[in-house]
């Protein structure tokens, strides 16, 4: 008997939709809510590493993801003038049957996961938030933003780095900016872009791109965190074009297609890891709500999916919600997620400090770690 019969999952990102799929597929009644009005507004592009692809396979969506995304098995290093310095095979951390990495448009990935959650039996609702949680030993009473209420055996807070659920259960976490900001643009894929290429020279710490489909890619430029919030749409576009003008090769075509400010986003890198426990009573937190890292290793999504897999496996194996279950959960997840966050931060810090650092050694260590199923 699973430890729970009905569950509220708050947040329809990777952690929340994966949690909902795993639970609903085991016959547990699941309500999944997201504060956003619909799936189309959920971001631009994402790089999924092999261990994320392994989780997507377990969720039963691999075929659909493969059809809509763009997979590759190597990473290139380029000089600012576009010269390809080296092409390195990327570790297949999801196993030999899956590619090393894949780019996807985020809305497509979200749609696939949420459709699968619905097919598995989860009730998915958008435009809805939680306003209050009352926990007792047997369950949780929940108030929603539309005035309705519900009672659940368990609430899963998968509502991201600024988690409302975390606040409602009184958990404090130390989110800090790492000192870097990232410009990202979603656009058409030039034929020359068939994998991620990175450039570590020029005016930016990192200039990179990732193909996300036959016709699409996202490109990014990482700089010192600056106060860019007051820029108008036109100024955002101009700033990204200006920074991109130092990069050539495929960047020439990428820059030429940078013409829509709506497709350009700027944000700071932030990080935190919540020490165990990750629950209070019958409310538990997963994904970015408990750990988040800058995307220097592109592991945030994978870690969110792994949280969901481990939590739901334990809820299935244990016949009650108790401290043993919660200890088993953080024993399996905290050290691994923490290692990924620390390594991601370290990569950024070496760049900020202009220090060489043992990048290959760090990458190898993390690849070995995440190659082991969570």
Ligand X SMILES: Cc1cc2nc3c(=O)[nH]c(=O)nc-3n(C[C@H](O)[C@H](O)[C@H](O)COP(=O)(O)OP(=O)(O)OC[C@H]3O[C@@H](n4cnc5c(N)ncnc54)[C@H](O)[C@@H]3O)c2cc1C
Nearer to ligand X, 26 or 265 (CB): 265
Q: Which of 150, 125, 168, 112 is nearest to 305 (CA)?
A: 112
**CB 112 to ligand X: min, Å:** 14
Q: Residue 63 and residue 49: Cα distance in Å, rounded? A: 16
**CB 215 to ligand X: min, Å:** 19
User: What does residue 122 show for φ and ψ, rounded to 5 degrees?
Assistant: -75, 145
Q: Residue 207 and residue 109: Cα distance in Å, rounded? A: 24
Q: In the numeric block, which tokens belong to residue 324?
A: 């043993």
Q: Write the CA distances from 140 to 7, 49, 134, 270, integer angstroms.
A: 10, 35, 6, 31
Residue 164 as a binder of ligand X (CB under 6 A): the answer is: yes
Residue 129 as a binder of ligand X (CB under 6 A): the answer is: yes
**CB 121 to ligand X: min, Å:** 20
Nearer to ligand X, 248 or 346 (CB): 346
Q: In the numeric block, which tokens belong to residue 64?
A: 């659909």
Residue selected from 32, 46, 315, 347 as contacting ligand X according to rule CB under 6 A: 46
Q: In the numeric block, which tokens belong to residue 145?
A: 């933003």
Residue selected from 29, 35, 77, 231 as contacting ligand X according to rule CB under 6 A: 35
**CB 191 to ligand X: min, Å:** 22
Residue selected from 23, 56, 182, 244 as contacting ligand X according to rule CB under 6 A: 182
Nearer to ligand X, 12 or 250 (CB): 12
**CB 282 to ligand X: min, Å:** 18
CB-CB contact of 9 with 30 (8 Å):
yes
Contacts of 115 (CB under 8 A, 6+ apart): none
Contacts of 307 (CB under 8 A, 6+ apart): 15, 19, 286, 287, 290, 333, 337
Hey, which residues between 294 and 313 contact ligand X (CB under 6 A)? Answer: 295, 298-302, 304
The β-bridge partners of 7 are: 30, 154
Residue 208 as a binder of ligand X (CB under 6 A): the answer is: no
**CB 131 to ligand X: min, Å:** 9
β 196-199/45-49 pair status: unpaired
Residue 196 as a binder of ligand X (CB under 6 A): the answer is: no
Hey, which residues between 6 and 25 contact ligand X (CB under 6 A)? Answer: 10-16
**CB 39 to ligand X: min, Å:** 9
Return the number of other C-beta atoms located less than 10 Å from residue 228's C-beta. Answer: 16
Hey, which residues between 243 and 272 contact ligand X (CB under 6 A)? Answer: 267
Residue 211 as a binder of ligand X (CB under 6 A): the answer is: no
**CB 319 to ligand X: min, Å:** 27
The number of C-alpha atoms within 13 Å of 300 and in the hemisphere containing its C-beta is: 22
Interaction site with ligand X (CB under 6 A):
10-16, 33-36, 42, 46-47, 52, 129-130, 158-160, 164, 182, 267, 287-288, 292, 295, 298-302, 304
């Amino acid at each position: 008997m699973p430890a729970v019969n009905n569950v509220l999952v708050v947040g329809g990102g990777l952690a929340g939709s994966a949690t909902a799929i795993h639970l609903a597929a085991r016959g547990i009644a699941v309500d999944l809510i997201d504060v956003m009005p619909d799936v189309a507004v959920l971001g631009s592009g994402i790089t999924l590493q092999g261990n994320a692809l392994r989780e997507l396979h377990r969720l039963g969506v691999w075929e659909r993801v493969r059809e809509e995304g763009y997979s590759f098995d190597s990473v290139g290093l380029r000089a600012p003038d576009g010269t390809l310095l080296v092409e390195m095979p990327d570790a297949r951390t999801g196993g030999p049957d899956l590619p090393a990495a894949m780019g996807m448009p985020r809305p497509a990935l979200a749609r696939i996961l949420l459709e699968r959650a619905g097919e598995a039996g989860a009730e998915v609702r958008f435009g809805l938030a939680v306003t209050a949680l009352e926990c007792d030993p047997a369950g949780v009473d929940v108030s929603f933003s539309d005035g309705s209420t519900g009672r659940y055996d368990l609430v899963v807070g998968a509502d991201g780095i600024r988690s409302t659920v975390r606040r409602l259960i009184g958990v404090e976490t130390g989110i800090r900016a790492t000192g870097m900001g990232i410009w990202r643009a979603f656009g058409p894929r030039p034929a020359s872009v068939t994998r991620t290429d990175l450039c570590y020279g020029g005016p930016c710490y990192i200039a990179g791109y990732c193909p996300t489909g036959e016709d699409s890619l996202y490109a990014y430029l990482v700089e010192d965190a600056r106060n860019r919030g007051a820029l108008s749409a036109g100024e955002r576009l101009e700033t990204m074009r200006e920074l991109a003008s130092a990069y050539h090769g495929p960047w020439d075509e990428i820059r030429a297609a940078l013409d829509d400010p709506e497709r350009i986003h700027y944000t700071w890198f932030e990080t935190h890891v919540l020490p165990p426990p990750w629950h209070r009573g019958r409310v538990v937190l997963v994904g970015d709500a408990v750990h988040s890292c800058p995307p220097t290793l592109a592991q945030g999504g994978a870690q969110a999916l792994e949280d969901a897999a481990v939590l739901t496996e334990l809820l299935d194996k244990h016949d009650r919600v108790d401290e043993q279950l919660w200890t088993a959960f953080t024993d399996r997840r905290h050290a691994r997620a923490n290692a990924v966050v620390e390594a991601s931060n370290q990569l950024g810090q070496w760049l900020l400090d202009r220090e060489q650092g043992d990048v290959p050694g760090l990458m190898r260590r993390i690849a070995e770690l995440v190659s082991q199923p969570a």
